[in-house]
Chain A
Amino acid sequence: MHYLQFVIDGLLLGGVYAAVGIGFALVWGIMNVVNLAHGALIMLGAYVTFWLYRLAGVDPLLSIPISMAVLFVLGWLIQRVLINQVIRAPLLVTFLMTFGLELMIVDLALNFFSADNRSVQSFYSGARWEFAGITIPQVHLYTLLIALALAAAMQLFLTRTTIGNAIQATSMDLDAARLVGIRIGRVYALTFALGAAAAGAAGSLISLNYAISPGAGEFYTPIAFVVCVLGGLGTINGALIGGLVFGVVQSLSQAFIGPAYQNAIAFGLLVLVLLLRPSGILGKAT
């Protein structure tokens, strides 16, 4: 048994965390909204995958675009109808708004989906690759690869397309952006919709890895927060790095110190990073 297995376990786990962090980072970075409903959106994405699988037999991986599309539309609506009304208000208001939204979504899900734990099974659920004593479960590897692809796609979209540039411009200087004709309301709606779509993808991946229930999302909002702070506030790359680092630290501490301490150590790392490098691993030192 060598270290490499545990590092790989951690990277694979980090894939889940990175996927969770990406949408959260986008919304935070561009709109300066800490979206406390992120976990609930993830949960909805997971249920899209679950119901497609249960009712139509759609493979969990193939359902990712669908859950992204569903969550994109939902995110767009949430932004236009709710958050745009309070986007100018102090941060606390969007905080409370998204917090309330989270409670509402979870309770509705409890009502419609019941509190039962559900799970999807695919033909590759138990499949794995083994070589040189290293085991790599296929599902975990797909999760990591999709998280990487998601981060790359988001990054490319933001830097290489006109709309992406408009989104970035808005986050850099709101007034200047408005002066050059960018329609802020639409940019925000698009940003939030993209964030929600990323949450949808994360949810689909989570349903592939774990059992889900309406409350399953609430674990992920703090994770998204930690991952973003760890990697560097509000950037896609930061979320990716933060997620992977968090996963590896958890895995190594589980293996060498014992699973009972994995959270204490992983969150201890967060405290350390905040003390020594307040803008995150990738953040510019200030």
Chain B
Amino acid sequence: MRTFLGLAGFTLLLAACGGAATPAASSPPASSPAASPSAAGSAAAKPAASAAASAPASAKPAAGASAPAAGNFDGTLLIGAPVSLTGDNNNEGKLTQQGYDLWAEVSNSKGGVNVGGKHYQIQLKYYDDQSKQDQSALITEKLISQDHVQFLLSPYATAPTFAASAISEKAKMLMVDSNGAANSIFDRGFKYVFGVLSPGTKYLTGVEDAWLAQDPKPTKLAMVAANDAFSLEVAKAAHDYATQKSLQVVYDQSYPPDTKDLSSSLNQIKAAGADVLLGSGHLTDSLLLMKQVKSLGVSFKGIGLSVGPSTPEFSNALGKDAQGIFSGVQWVPEQKSTGPVLGSAQDYTQAFQKKYNALPEYHSADGAAAGLALQLAIEKAGTLDMDKVRDTLAALSVDAFFGHIQFDSRGLNVDKPMVEIQLQGADNKQVPVWPDTAATGKILWPLPA
């Protein structure tokens, strides 16, 4: 009996962990229409099979190159990135890739990367990391040592970027991070990783700012967070900021992944008399939280979630229950910002729509901005020398379609604010409501009980 249970436990563990690797899907053709920008659920593709690194996805020469190809490196600038094309984060991974591809295409059509008068065509090399951080690290190793890429762009999300950047740092290879937002990536004293996006600590503080400017002001804040590094970091920053702004935190707890029930927590929050709620977690957590807030009849003046509301999946799944929810996003098509190569936020939006036949959202904009930052640093340095490009990037201060890009000593783009959105109207339109430079609509406040 005991052996049997051990065996059962082992097999269940296998089932839970999802075995080893999926054979890699090759990257979709650049012309493929955009997948609807939605976050993947907990659905992991999880065949057992070989633990070997993924088969190479076909390297994709960026389309539309019209630049004169010259220079001593056969005229191309080879940039590598692990991307999540399968697994939990396949949607966001593909969006990130679309951003990289769009940047490369637009940039190549304008003459590529100008390095001291020589034009280099950008070529991107991807492998699927299956949304797994160990795969991301392996792929980074492979891109550096076998494919001899010249620079790196990051995979999607904090955990893979954390793992991949440890490898690139060892090789003294520059990695521009598009979608890994946790401070933990940048708190290791690394010299060769830079993130263009607003750090995780800003995800919910903007929501608090927006709320605190309303009448009547919120007085009691309740918070729940998934207990992974990123969600906890977001929650802690929001907690500290609330305290600083004299918004009383009456409940702050974390929950394990795969939680199926937060009823007891919500009943406690209700009893504590909280009038605003912040949730820091993943899409499935956000959906669970909203469903249970609704079914338990706990009402708040405002609800803000770190992840979820900016995906169509969230409003599709919740319908009218999603109305009025706040979230922070890195970028909105409506924002007033403009800069080199990709033009203004609106120019970027047009180019994206033309290429992918879908409205751009921030994951892809993060990707394009990462590529753009790398290009601008190389062009300013006027050389492909790693350390010179690195130093130029570290000192870069530029306005772009994405907003301001400038790094602090850790490599974080700390000054860029998040844009706060609120889902409004029958179709849950994402209306930018904060800060004023990006707002196109008025805040709905307080939420109807």
A contacts, CB < 8 Å to B: 1, 5-6, 9-10, 12-13, 16, 34, 36, 39, 91-92, 95, 99, 102-103, 106-107, 109-110, 115-119, 121, 125-128, 130, 135, 137-140, 209-211, 213-216, 218-219, 221-222, 225, 229, 247, 250-252, 254-255, 258-260, 262-263, 274, 278
Inter-subunit contact A259/B267 (CB<8 Å): no
Inter-subunit contact B254/A259 (CB<8 Å): yes
Name the distance in Å between B103's Cβ and chain A's nearest Cβ: 26
Q: Chain A contacts of B297 at CB under 8 A?
A: 126, 128, 130, 135, 137
Which A residue's beta carbon lies closest to that of B8? A34
Partner pick for B16 among A16, A218, A259, A263, CB 8 A cutoff:
A218
Inter-subunit contact A117/B264 (CB<8 Å): no
Inter-subunit contact A219/B260 (CB<8 Å): yes
Given contacts A115-B43, A254-B264, A128 and B295 within 8 Å (CB-CB): yes
Which B residue's beta carbon lies closest to that of A14? B261
Which B residue's beta carbon lies closest to that of A255? B264
Cβ of B114 within 8 Å of any chain A Cβ, yes or no, is no
Inter-subunit contact B288/A211 (CB<8 Å): yes
Inter-subunit contact B268/A137 (CB<8 Å): no
Inter-subunit contact B12/A36 (CB<8 Å): yes
Cβ of B387 within 8 Å of any chain A Cβ, yes or no, is no
A-B contact count (CB 8 A): 182
Chain B stretch 231-256: residues in CB contact (< 8 A) with chain A: 253-256
Chain B stretch 264-284: residues in CB contact (< 8 A) with chain A: 264-265, 267-268, 270-271, 283-284
Inter-subunit contact B259/A262 (CB<8 Å): yes
Q: Chain A contacts of B265 at CB under 8 A?
A: 254-255, 259
19 pairs from A and B in contact (CB 8 Å cutoff): A92-B7, A95-B11, A115-B40, A115-B90, A115-B91, A118-B316, A125-B294, A125-B321, A126-B294, A139-B295, A140-B295, A210-B287, A214-B43, A218-B16, A219-B258, A221-B12, A221-B15, A259-B265, A263-B256
Name the distance in Å between B94's Cβ and chain A's nearest Cβ: 11
Greatest chain B CB density within 10 A among A5, A6, A116, A260 is at: A116
Inter-subunit contact A250/B261 (CB<8 Å): yes
Partner pick for A262 among B1, B46, B256, CB 8 A cutoff:
B256
Greatest chain B CB density within 10 A among A102, A118, A213 is at: A213
Inter-subunit contact B254/A213 (CB<8 Å): no
Which B residue's beta carbon lies closest to that of A135? B296
Q: Chain B contacts of A9 at CB under 8 A?
A: 261, 263-264, 267
Q: Chain A contacts of B382 at CB under 8 A?
A: none
How does the 8 Å CB contact mask read for B30-67 relative to A, with 1 for contact and 0 for none?
00000000111111111110000000000000000000
Cβ of B227 within 8 Å of any chain A Cβ, yes or no, is yes
Given contacts A137-B295, A259-B259, A99 and B11 within 8 Å (CB-CB): yes
Inter-subunit contact A259/B43 (CB<8 Å): no
Name the distance in Å between A274's Cβ and chain B's nearest Cβ: 8
Name the distance in Å between A91's Cβ and chain B's nearest Cβ: 7
Q: Chain A contacts of B14 at CB under 8 A?
A: 99
Name the distance in Å between B27's Cβ and chain A's nearest Cβ: 18
Partner pick for B264 among A6, A128, A278, CB 8 A cutoff:
A6
Q: Chain B contacts of A92 at CB under 8 A?
A: 7
Q: Chain A contacts of B398 at CB under 8 A?
A: none
Chain B residues bordering chain A, tally (CB within 8 A): 60
Which A residue's beta carbon lies closest to that of B44? A215
A107 to B46, CA, bound (A): 8
How does the 8 Å CB contact mask read for B2-28 relative to A, with 1 for contact and 0 for none?
001101100110111011000000000
Inter-subunit contact A126/B267 (CB<8 Å): no
Q: Chain B contacts of A222 at CB under 8 A?
A: 12, 15-16
A229 to B5, CA, bound (A): 10
Given contacts A125-B294, A254-B265, A255-B268, A117 and B283 within 8 Å (CB-CB): yes
Cβ of B262 within 8 Å of any chain A Cβ, yes or no, is yes
Inter-chain pairs besides A211-B287, A252-B264, 14 sampled, C-beta below 8 Å: A5-B264, A9-B263, A16-B260, A99-B15, A121-B318, A128-B295, A137-B292, A211-B317, A213-B284, A216-B41, A218-B18, A221-B15, A247-B261, A251-B261
A137 to B297, CA, bound (A): 8
Inter-subunit contact B261/A254 (CB<8 Å): yes
Which B residue's beta carbon lies closest to that of A6? B264
Given contacts A216-B41, A259-B255, A95 and B317 within 8 Å (CB-CB): no
Name the distance in Å between A258's Cβ and chain B's nearest Cβ: 5
Greatest chain B CB density within 10 A among A9, A99, A127 is at: A9
Q: Chain A contacts of B41 at CB under 8 A?
A: 115-117, 211, 213-216
Which A residue's beta carbon lies closest to that of B256? A263
A39 to B42, CA, bound (A): 14
Inter-subunit contact A110/B43 (CB<8 Å): yes
Name the distance in Å between B21's Cβ and chain A's nearest Cβ: 13
Inter-subunit contact A215/B288 (CB<8 Å): no
Inter-subunit contact B260/A210 (CB<8 Å): yes
A137 to B41, CA, bound (A): 25
Given contacts A117-B284, A210-B288, A1 and B263 within 8 Å (CB-CB): no
A275 to B90, CA, bound (A): 42
Q: Chain B contacts of A36 at CB under 8 A?
A: 11-12, 15
How does the 8 Å CB contact mask read for B284-303 relative to A, with 1 for contact and 0 for none?
10011001101111000000
Q: Chain B contacts of A99 at CB under 8 A?
A: 11, 14-15
Inter-subunit contact A13/B256 (CB<8 Å): no
Which A residue's beta carbon lies closest to that of B2? A278
Cβ of B141 within 8 Å of any chain A Cβ, yes or no, is no
Inter-subunit contact B46/A128 (CB<8 Å): no
Given contacts A13-B263, A219-B260, A126 and B8 within 8 Å (CB-CB): no
Cβ of B71 within 8 Å of any chain A Cβ, yes or no, is no
Name the distance in Å between B319's Cβ and chain A's nearest Cβ: 5
A103 to B4, CA, bound (A): 22
A59 to B214, CA, bound (A): 40
Given contacts A5-B267, A222-B12, A216 and B43 within 8 Å (CB-CB): yes
A13 to B292, CA, bound (A): 12
Inter-subunit contact A110/B45 (CB<8 Å): yes
